[in-house]
A and B are shown apart, each in its own frame.
Chain A
Amino acid sequence: GAVVSQHPSWVICKSGTSVKIECRSLDFQATTMFWYRQFPKKSLMLMATSNEGSKATYEQGVEKDKFLINHASLTLSTLTVTSAHPEDSSFYICSVSSGLAGNTIYFGEGSWLTVV
């Protein structure tokens, strides 16, 4: 299966600052990556679909200006949480599609964000 690397695994930041999370596809070139958010003991909430070389597609209710997504290359997508607030504290996970029949999704290890 695809190997997806996410960095950092843990990050603590102060309110009002910005934090960048990187997602790398190590096995193959990914034209599409997905960003999810997960609260403790809750399901995965799709935030946006990151498209290489074009603007990300955001899900309803997700603020584009707050969660900036950049997919500058076929192996790297970044999520920047701008002007972070404590309520942004969560587990952020990226994933890539295998591109095979059925489009199996492979997840990164996730990034725990704590805003203090």
Chain B
Amino acid sequence: GQQVMQIPQYQHVQEGEDFTTYCNSSTTLSNIQWYKQRPGGHPVFLIQLVKSGEVKKQKRLTFQFGEAKKNSSLHITATQTTDVGTYFCAGPVGGGSNYKLTFGKGTLLTVNP
């Protein structure tokens, strides 16, 4: 079945440093979604990328979708302590009533103030 792999598993940075997490799918994706889960909280939707080569920005966060629609990345510029959490990518499997998301294992980001 489809697999979504995410690296690194953990990343510790000093506040102000940049951070990047990478996501790779074993199959071509119709779209890719990113979620953030704060410690003790539930995953929250960040963004969805649909087009090949698409780049979207949310303030200090930059999301990219690869040309082949099999990989994606999330880059945070000048991290802040509020960026702490686990970032998950997710790709869809199936359609219609069989639609569901396959999640990567996530990247836990910790930021040292």
Inter-chain contact B45/A43, CB cutoff 8 Å: no
Chain A neighbourhood of B41, CB < 8 A: 109-110
Most buried by B among A46, A57, A105: A105
Query: How far apart are the CA atoms of A34 and B92 in the complex, in Å?
Result: 13
Asked if residues A32 and B97 are in contact (CB atoms below 8 Å), the reply is yes
Does A49 interact with chain B (Cβ within 8 Å)? yes
Is B71's CB within 8 Å of the partner chain A? no
Collect the chain B residues with CB atoms within 8 Å of residue A46's CB: 100-103
At the interface, yes or no: A51 with Cβ under 8 Å from chain B? yes
A43-B104, A102-B31 are known contacts. Are A97 and B99 too (CB-CB below 8 A)? yes
For B92, list chain A residues within 8 Å (CB): 102-103
Does B68 make an interface contact (CB < 8 A)? no
User: Which residues from B are CB-within-8-Å of A105?
Assistant: 33, 35, 45, 90, 101
Chain A residues near B35 (CB, 8 Å)? 105, 107
Please, how many residues of chain B have a CB less than 8 angstroms from a CB on the other chain? 26
Nearest A residue to B10 by beta-carbon distance?
A: A41
Q: Are A44 and B31 in contact (CB under 8 A)?
A: no
List B60-105 residues whose CB lies under 8 Å from chain A.
86, 88, 90, 92, 97-105
Taking the closest CB of chain B, its distance from the CB of A27, in whole angstroms, is 14
**How long is the Cα–Cα vector from A103 to B99 in the complex, in angstroms?**
8
A73 to B31, CA, bound (A): 29
Also in contact, A51 and B99, with CB within 8 A (given A93-B43, A110-B42): no
State in angstroms the CA–CA spacing of A93 and B35 once bound together: 14
Cα–Cα, bound, A102→B30 (Å) = 8
Distance (whole angstroms) from the CB of B48 to the closest CB of chain A = 5
Which residues of the partner chain A approach B88 to less than 8 Å between Cβ atoms?
A: 43-44
CB-nearest residue of chain B to A99 = B99
In the docked arrangement, what's the CA distance between A101 and B31, Å? Answer: 10
Q: How far is the CB of A110 from chain B (nearest CB, A)?
A: 5
In order of increasing CB-CB distance, the 9 nearest A-B pairs are A43-B105, A110-B42, A107-B42, A44-B103, A102-B31, A102-B48, A107-B43, A109-B42, A43-B106
**Chain A interface (Cβ within 8 Å of chain B)?**
1, 32, 34, 41-44, 46, 49, 51, 57, 93, 97, 101-110
